[in-house]
Amino acid sequence: MARGFEICKGYEDKNINLPKRQTTHSVGYDIEAAEDTLIPSLFKLANNNSEILNKPTLIKTGIKAFFETDEVMYLFNRSSGPSKRGLVTANSVGVFECDYYSNPSNDGEILVSMYNFSNEDIIVKKGERIAQVVFQKFLTIDNDISTGTRLGGFGSTDK
Protein backbone atom coordinates (compact mmCIF):
# COMPACT_ATOMS: atom_id res chain seq x y z
CA MET A 1 0.00 0.00 0.00
CA ALA A 2 1.42 3.37 -1.04
CA ARG A 3 -0.34 5.55 1.50
CA GLY A 4 -2.53 5.19 4.52
CA PHE A 5 -3.17 6.03 8.15
CA GLU A 6 -2.21 4.31 11.41
CA ILE A 7 -2.84 4.84 15.10
CA CYS A 8 0.16 6.41 16.89
CA LYS A 9 1.91 4.78 19.83
CA GLY A 10 0.07 5.43 23.08
CA TYR A 11 -3.34 5.73 21.42
CA GLU A 12 -3.97 2.04 20.71
CA ASP A 13 -6.71 1.77 23.35
CA LYS A 14 -8.24 5.27 22.91
CA ASN A 15 -10.88 4.42 20.27
CA ILE A 16 -9.28 6.58 17.60
CA ASN A 17 -10.97 6.60 14.18
CA LEU A 18 -8.77 6.56 11.10
CA PRO A 19 -9.45 9.43 8.68
CA LYS A 20 -11.87 8.83 5.86
CA ARG A 21 -13.50 10.67 3.00
CA GLN A 22 -17.15 11.42 3.69
CA THR A 23 -18.44 11.13 0.11
CA THR A 24 -17.37 9.44 -3.13
CA HIS A 25 -16.14 12.75 -4.56
CA SER A 26 -14.51 14.16 -1.42
CA VAL A 27 -10.90 15.19 -1.91
CA GLY A 28 -9.91 15.37 1.75
CA TYR A 29 -9.77 12.78 4.52
CA ASP A 30 -11.38 14.18 7.66
CA ILE A 31 -9.20 14.28 10.78
CA GLU A 32 -10.75 13.95 14.25
CA ALA A 33 -9.60 15.19 17.64
CA ALA A 34 -8.16 12.43 19.86
CA GLU A 35 -9.30 14.11 23.08
CA ASP A 36 -11.35 17.03 24.34
CA THR A 37 -9.33 20.23 23.82
CA LEU A 38 -10.05 23.75 25.02
CA ILE A 39 -9.27 26.44 22.44
CA PRO A 40 -9.35 29.83 24.16
CA SER A 41 -10.97 32.83 22.49
CA LEU A 42 -8.33 35.22 21.15
CA PHE A 43 -10.66 38.10 21.97
CA LYS A 44 -10.91 37.06 25.62
CA LEU A 45 -7.14 36.61 25.78
CA ALA A 46 -6.56 40.05 24.24
CA ASN A 47 -8.96 41.70 26.69
CA ASN A 48 -7.12 40.05 29.57
CA ASN A 49 -3.71 41.06 28.16
CA SER A 50 -2.73 37.42 28.15
CA GLU A 51 0.82 36.45 27.29
CA ILE A 52 -0.30 33.33 25.42
CA LEU A 53 -2.17 35.34 22.79
CA ASN A 54 0.22 34.43 19.97
CA LYS A 55 0.34 30.70 20.72
CA PRO A 56 -2.05 28.46 18.83
CA THR A 57 -3.61 25.43 20.49
CA LEU A 58 -2.29 22.07 19.30
CA ILE A 59 -5.04 19.49 18.92
CA LYS A 60 -3.89 15.90 19.14
CA THR A 61 -5.25 13.40 16.62
CA GLY A 62 -3.57 10.14 17.63
CA ILE A 63 -2.96 9.26 13.99
CA LYS A 64 -0.06 9.31 11.57
CA ALA A 65 0.14 8.95 7.80
CA PHE A 66 2.54 7.10 5.53
CA PHE A 67 2.98 7.94 1.86
CA GLU A 68 5.48 7.84 -1.00
CA THR A 69 8.67 9.93 -1.13
CA ASP A 70 7.40 11.97 -4.09
CA GLU A 71 4.17 12.89 -2.30
CA VAL A 72 3.15 15.54 0.21
CA MET A 73 0.26 15.57 2.63
CA TYR A 74 -1.48 18.93 3.08
CA LEU A 75 -3.61 19.69 6.13
CA PHE A 76 -6.44 22.15 5.56
CA ASN A 77 -9.10 23.75 7.70
CA ARG A 78 -12.55 22.26 7.22
CA SER A 79 -14.91 24.77 5.61
CA SER A 80 -17.23 24.66 8.65
CA GLY A 81 -14.45 25.62 11.10
CA PRO A 82 -14.29 29.36 10.45
CA SER A 83 -17.86 29.93 9.33
CA LYS A 84 -19.66 28.02 12.09
CA ARG A 85 -17.23 28.12 15.01
CA GLY A 86 -14.54 30.74 14.38
CA LEU A 87 -11.76 28.11 14.31
CA VAL A 88 -8.90 28.46 11.84
CA THR A 89 -5.69 26.54 11.38
CA ALA A 90 -2.81 28.69 12.56
CA ASN A 91 -0.52 28.02 9.61
CA SER A 92 -3.26 28.18 6.93
CA VAL A 93 -1.98 24.97 5.31
CA GLY A 94 0.05 22.32 7.09
CA VAL A 95 2.72 20.63 4.97
CA PHE A 96 3.82 17.10 5.90
CA GLU A 97 6.70 15.28 4.27
CA CYS A 98 6.93 11.47 4.18
CA ASP A 99 9.78 11.42 6.74
CA TYR A 100 7.49 12.92 9.40
CA TYR A 101 5.94 9.45 9.70
CA SER A 102 7.11 7.63 12.87
CA ASN A 103 9.75 10.28 13.68
CA PRO A 104 11.38 9.70 17.08
CA SER A 105 10.02 12.77 18.88
CA ASN A 106 6.25 12.21 18.43
CA ASP A 107 5.82 9.06 16.28
CA GLY A 108 4.61 11.25 13.41
CA GLU A 109 1.38 12.26 15.12
CA ILE A 110 -0.62 14.71 13.04
CA LEU A 111 -1.19 17.77 15.24
CA VAL A 112 -3.67 20.45 14.22
CA SER A 113 -2.61 23.97 15.22
CA MET A 114 -5.69 26.20 15.70
CA TYR A 115 -6.81 29.65 16.73
CA ASN A 116 -10.27 30.57 17.99
CA PHE A 117 -11.58 33.87 16.59
CA SER A 118 -15.00 33.58 18.24
CA ASN A 119 -16.03 35.53 21.32
CA GLU A 120 -16.15 32.44 23.55
CA ASP A 121 -13.77 29.65 24.46
CA ILE A 122 -14.51 26.50 22.47
CA ILE A 123 -14.10 22.90 23.51
CA VAL A 124 -13.35 20.60 20.61
CA LYS A 125 -14.72 17.21 21.60
CA LYS A 126 -12.97 13.87 21.09
CA GLY A 127 -14.07 12.47 17.73
CA GLU A 128 -15.03 15.87 16.31
CA ARG A 129 -13.82 16.42 12.76
CA ILE A 130 -11.43 19.39 12.88
CA ALA A 131 -9.36 19.35 9.68
CA GLN A 132 -8.84 17.47 6.46
CA VAL A 133 -5.77 16.14 4.69
CA VAL A 134 -5.10 15.80 0.97
CA PHE A 135 -2.29 13.82 -0.66
CA GLN A 136 -0.54 15.10 -3.77
CA LYS A 137 2.51 14.33 -5.92
CA PHE A 138 5.22 17.01 -6.05
CA LEU A 139 8.23 17.79 -8.25
CA THR A 140 11.84 18.63 -7.39
CA ILE A 141 14.36 20.61 -9.42
CA ASP A 142 17.05 19.00 -11.57
CA ASN A 143 20.21 18.16 -9.60
CA ASP A 144 18.45 18.45 -6.25
CA ILE A 145 21.02 17.80 -3.50
CA SER A 146 18.93 17.55 -0.34
CA THR A 147 20.72 15.29 2.15
CA GLY A 148 19.28 16.19 5.56
CA THR A 149 17.58 13.72 7.87
CA ARG A 150 14.53 14.47 10.01
CA LEU A 151 15.13 13.80 13.69
CA GLY A 152 12.13 15.49 15.23
CA GLY A 153 8.46 16.10 14.81
CA PHE A 154 6.31 19.21 14.59
CA GLY A 155 8.35 22.20 13.35
CA SER A 156 11.70 20.41 13.48
CA THR A 157 13.17 20.93 9.99
CA ASP A 158 14.61 24.36 10.86
CA LYS A 159 16.60 23.04 13.82
pLDDT digits (tens, 9 = 90+) for 29-69: 999 999 999 999 887 766 666 666 668 999 999 999 999 99
Helix extents (H) in 41-81: 42-47, 80
pLDDT at 43: 77
Contact assessment for residue 59 and residue 33, using Cβ atoms and an 8 Å cutoff: yes
Give per-residue pLDDT as tens, 135-144: 999 999 999 8
pLDDT at 83: 81
Q: Which residues pair with 100 in a beta bridge?
A: none
Other Cβ atoms within 10 Å of 100 Cβ, number: 24
Domains of the chain: 4-137 (2.70.40.10)
Which has the closest alpha carbon to 122: 86, 78, 92? 86
